[in-house]
Structure 1
């Protein structure tokens, strides 16, 4: 079956701001373009706006709504600028493989986001985030996409996270509607866990929490669904849902008010 190229390309524009969405949802459908349409256009430009409901920080019990632009600009199979994937370059682009580097950003965390749980703890300021990624498409007859990435914010004392995910186009798609679904697992090293979920002696004194020193390992696991619907030749709408759960040392942290996190977003876009 030949998947509609426009629908595959459209999914890249769905993410407005960084969120608890599965990492694969930021680029859903992009690696399938090379598999089914080897000759890509010189430019692909999709602009729009959207909103997302998400936890105020990783492990928060409070939610908030964010709104912003949805941007996805791609030059051949080489360069891209996307509110979901960031600013990056594809170092490898074949019918089966896509791999590269990108620079995005992390929204951080502020104590006033949840004074009941974060009082006396330092803010984690927004910071650029470097990312290495690779995706593999199994075959045309079985278009399962496997994705791995490693990420690190360019902030002092922060560590690495890595995502392992997979997704598959689902039945029920048509010329105007398309959807994907798949799981993801996120791992983190001890430096990342200590900064995001740990409490050192000074923080314990100012916050009232007991000291907590989490180790590295599996941070969370989740499942996501991404959809796109074409209203006409140029206009399309997208929606995404992702459910994730903190595990192990992250879930046991006193800062994890709610280990279960839900993210829902929607956007309206124009494809030039």
Structure 2
């Protein structure tokens, strides 16, 4: 009986043992606890590799469970020039190609799915922004309260020969900013990947409605101060970004992941008096155990 086909780092199909490669793909989905708090990470980085698992294997395990710990360096808020280090758990649990409980993706269901695509709904959580604890620049601004976030998403992997994954999503804060935000992104495996090390890279464009933009970047008449004039942003493209995600299996069950991303605010988000730096970066690393 022949062994299953998998994708090689050079982009060619060849026969080899598939499980280590497939586990590596899904391992990237284990994301830190603060993932849904606004940060330069792209949405695709919370689920990198998931659509490719189905594409390269006829069957996938009933259960996939990955638990660990992580640390992240990120801006205090989108547009801040100050950075903080935070830590927390890394959790990703998946049942077949049906349901998932992931700190990065949230609690969700793949409502529609095929061999190389999926579309679904999820519920995640946004930690918001506390003005007094975040930056002196935000003194007198209203807090953006923590709130659940509803998400619609769809992913499509082109082919085994050209494993480009395209993703779109739309998220609605159920409280907090009470606004819509969404990503349009794409990524694919990069040269140099092997059975124990994999990395992906790709761009993202983020759009938001006026309600979201005013909550995060707007300044009302009552909030205006010297050096912080009244500002009412419009909806549209909020930012462009580029990210890299990687996983390294250093043991049969133990693996490490890292994500790096850069985000460039544009338009009204860049022009906001609350924006200190229009270019933000983020870096995280995690160590996990795969059951």
Displacement after TM superposition at 1:200 (Å): 1.2
Residue 271 of structure 2 is matched in structure 1 by: 252
Quote the offset at 1:153 in angstroms: 0.9
The counterpart of 2:223, out of the listed 174, 178, 203, is 203
Distance 2:126 2:31 in 1: 18
Deviation of the 1:145 alpha carbon: 0.2
Q: Give, in whole Å, the separation in 2 of the partners of 1:156 and 1:255.
A: 18
Map of 2:6 onto structure 1: 2
The verdict on how the C-alpha distance between 1:162 and 1:271 changes in structure 2, with shifts beyond 3 A counting, is same
Would the aligned equivalents of 1:50 and 1:67 in 2 still touch at CA under 8 Å?
yes
Paired position in structure 1 for 2:287: 268
C-alpha separation in 1, matches of 2:188 and 2:282: 20
User: Structure 1: which 5+ runs fail to align?
Assistant: none
CA–CA distance in structure 2, aligned partners of residues 113 and 33 of structure 1:
42
Spell out the pairing of 1:11-30 with structure 2 (5 A cutoff). Answer: 11-18=28-35, 19-30=39-50
Contact 1:14/1:239 (8 A) holds in 2: no
TM superposition score normalised by structure 2: 0.90
Alignment deviations for residues 177-210 of structure 1 (CA, whole Å, 9 cap, x no partner):
00000000000111111111111112226x7622
Give yes or no for contact 1:238–1:268 (8 Å, CA) kept in 2: yes
Question: How many residues align structurally?
Answer: 271
Give the Cα separation in 2 of the matches to 1:157 and 1:64.
22
Deviations 1:79-137 (A, max 9, x none): 10011101000012211211100011112111124443101111111111111000000
Q: Does the CA-based 8 Å contact 2:183-2:205 persist in structure 1?
A: yes
**TM-score, structure 1 length as denominator?**
0.96
Structure 1 Cα separation of the partners of residues 34 and 130 of structure 2: 17
The answer to whether the Cα contact below 8 Å between 1:193 and 1:215 also exists between their aligned partners in 2 is yes
Question: In the alignment, what sits opposite 2:164?
Answer: 144
Root-mean-square deviation over aligned CA pairs: 1.4
Q: Partner of 2:13 in structure 1? A: none
Distance 2:135 2:253 in 1: 45
Distance in 1 between residues matched to 2:176 and 2:155, nearest whole Å: 29
The one-character-per-residue Cα deviations of 1:198-230 (angstroms, maximum 9, x if unpaired) are 11112226x762211111110000000000000
Structure 2 alignment gaps of length 5 or more: 8-20
CA distance in 2, matches of 1:236, 1:194: 41
Contact 1:14–1:266 under 8 Å retained in 2: no
Cα distance in 1, alignment partners of residues 222 and 123 from structure 2: 33
Once superposed, which parts of structure 1, at least 4 consecutive aligned residues long, lie more than 4 Å away?
Answer: none
